[in-house]
Structure 1
Amino acid sequence: MKVSKISHSYVVKLGWGTFTTIVALAIAAPSFAQSAVSLGRNFRPDPKTLDGSGGGNVSIASTAGIADNCRGFAHAEPNHTITLNETFPVMDLLVYSSNINDDPTMLIKGPNGIIICADDESGGRNPQVTRRMPKGIYKVWVGSKNVNQSFGYTLSLSEIRQK
């Protein structure tokens, strides 16, 4: 590697071996990306939607630390971090996908030890949680019933129950 100074800027020249190593690392890096959102009461637009890729190889029950209705497999890291800047009397989280063969599940871990697992509660194939949520940080995992089955989804957040 050669470094030279050109008028208060530094130019780094990398050899071919370094370039191929960087490309290999970029290709090998996982494509999983987490999104974060911060919400106050009366947020707009309502619903707020977040897109992601669900599924993985980690048991949601083991991530939750409980087995009660905690089904499916997700990534080790949460798909979304949601910060509620104040207590919401009603917060509705609904996961849906456009493919009828997907069967999403959801885990929410919040402040004060809140753990919520959801699977098909909305009367269909989509996990939904509607409840009072205190101010704080919530981590959301979106999983699939089958290990290593990945799929695209939308997480919809609203201050009213969604259908």
Structure 2
Amino acid sequence: MRHLALTAALIATPLTYATAQDASLNPTFGVQDLQAGFATDPNWVYLLAGGLEQRSFTDAISGDVCRGYFADAPDYRMVFTSDGGPLSITAESHDDPVLLINGPDGRWYCNDDSHGLDSAVTFAAAQSGTYDIWVGTYGDPQGDYPGAQLSFTQLEPFEAQIRRSFFGEDDRLVMDVTQAPWNMIGYVEMQSGSCTGTLIAPNIVLTGGHCITNLGEQDNPPMRFSAGYQNGASVATAGVTSYHVPELWRLAEQEGMDFAFFYLDQPLGDRLGWMNIGTLTPQELAGFANGTGPDILQAGYSADRPGILTGNLSCPFVELASQNRLVHECDTVQGDSGSPLFIQDASGYRLIGVESHTNFQPEQEFDMNVAMYVANIVAEYQALTRTGPAASAVPAPVTK
């Protein structure tokens, strides 16, 4: 599972060079031989990222410094027979992977944040020989090592990921943030990193729960909300006075509860408007089932288009799955966490889901994009604002 929050980019400050990473040790997750022209491209393997040691390395290609927490032994070893052509090695994870490689020439190669938060090292003319590989994490994993996908490709780096994430074609458009409903969506500056949020009341914004906290982690509070943010300017900006994350997410990361509210120090919604939150009607669900449902819209601050609000005007609906999950085919990537999925109805715009995460499905044609269906959000909001009975959330109907 990959959450779509965008964490702070690394500001590279050279540290004392250290080589605790020992290429003579046996790799933890395996060894394989690859020859140029390998049939399954990308060739990939799952492993666990991170380690106990924080180290800094300088990439032999770019000169950039990258820093992360690595294990002592290589995570993986690949012995490559080259034809003189290119080779890219990539690392994908929900927890900001840092890729480190000791090449056949004995030099160190590293990368952090090449495609969103995912990492890649490309050898324009790859050498034959042994590539010892570490997949680290930018933050201290504190013994909870996240899953990661390590890939080898002679295509463009992340070509397969982009194809899977965008369902074959990128349909995102740049939105006019001076107009509704796009001016109700904004850039959420966290204490570290960013997410997307939506006005749902004059001074209340809805975003992703994992943007603020995950199980056992220290909170990463929202600091500022910039409505209609585009290229460094915004329609309106406000500070944050407080926030609320459901206890079922904070204490258990319960599926269906990955959302949060925060309160602004100014009622921006009085000027810009806000979206209602509400469940889909049986008629709307039936319409989605037979292909006549309302258009689903989405917009957020994708990591590959920094500072620009891009979105989808007609996302395919897939299903309402168990545990209040809305599975969809909006083109979303890291940075879109907390972004709204919504429809237009007679009373305005109705938010029906909040973007949460992407499930890797490398063995499938496409990945699975998952939003939190609004049923739990409505119940939590009613209890929080006392606008209705503080009853337990009604589970979403499961259409599968």
Cα offsets for 1:35-68 (capped at 9, x unmatched): 1111001102111001100011112427x9xx95
Q: Does 1:118 align with 2:111?
A: yes
**Structure 1 residue 52 corresponds to structure 2 residue 47:** yes
2:122 aligned partner: 130
Q: Distance in 2 between matches of 1:50 and 1:60?
A: 24
Q: Which residue of 1 aligns with 2:246?
A: none
Q: For residue 102 of structure 2, what is the aligned residue in structure 1? A: 109
Percent identity between matched residues is 28
Task: Check 1:60–1:107 CA distance in 2 against 1; reply closer, same or farther (3 A cut).
Answer: farther
Q: How does 1:1-163 map to 2 (within 5 A)?
A: 33-61=28-56, 68-97=64-93, 99=94, 102-122=95-115, 124-131=116-123, 132-149=125-142, 150-163=145-158
Normalising to structure 1: TM-score of the pair?
Answer: 0.69
What's the TM-score once normalised by structure 2's chain length?
0.30
What amino acid maps onto 2:30 in structure 1? Answer: S
Q: State the aligned residue count.
A: 126
| CA distance in structure 2 between the aligned counterparts of 1:41 and 1:68, rounded to whole angstroms | 28
Structure 2 equivalent of residue 13 of structure 1:
none
- In the alignment, the residues of structure 1 paired with residue 129 and residue 155 of structure 2 have an alpha-carbon distance, to the nearest angstrom, of 19
- My pick for the range that moved more, 87-96 or 48-57, is 87-96
Match of 1:20 in 2: none
1:63-111 deviation per Cα after TM superposition (whole angstroms, max 9, x unaligned): x9xx9523101110011101012344111111112x3xx1110100012
Could you tell me whether the CA contact under 8 Å between 1:49 and 1:157 is conserved in 2?
yes
Stretches (4+) displaced over 6 A: none
Q: Structure 2: which 5+ residue stretches go unaligned?
A: 1-26, 159-400
Q: Which has the larger radius of gyration?
A: 2
Aligned partner of 2:73: which letter?
A: E
Alpha-carbon distance between aligned partners in 2 of 1:36 and 1:60, rounded to the nearest angstrom = 24
Give unmatched runs, 5+ long, in structure 1. Answer: 1-31
Q: C-alpha root-mean-square deviation of aligned residues, in Å?
A: 2.2
1:137-162 deviation digits (Å, cap 9, x = unpaired)? 01000001122341001011111113
Residues 153 and 134 (structure 1), Cα distance of their counterparts in 2 relative to 1, 3 Å cut: same
Identify which range, 86-95 or 52-61, moves more after superposition: 86-95
Tell me the CA shift for residue 120 of structure 1. Answer: 0.5
Cα distance change of structure 1 residues 35 and 88 upon mapping to structure 2, 3 Å threshold: farther
More strand by share: 1
Are the equivalent residues in 1 in contact too, given 2:28–2:74 (CA < 8 A)? no
Question: Residue 37 and residue 60 in structure 1: after superposition, are their counterparts in 2 closer, same or farther (change >3 A)?
Answer: farther
SS of structure 2 residue aligned to 1:113: coil
Question: RCO higher in 1 or 2 (8 Å CA, sep ≥ 6)?
Answer: 1
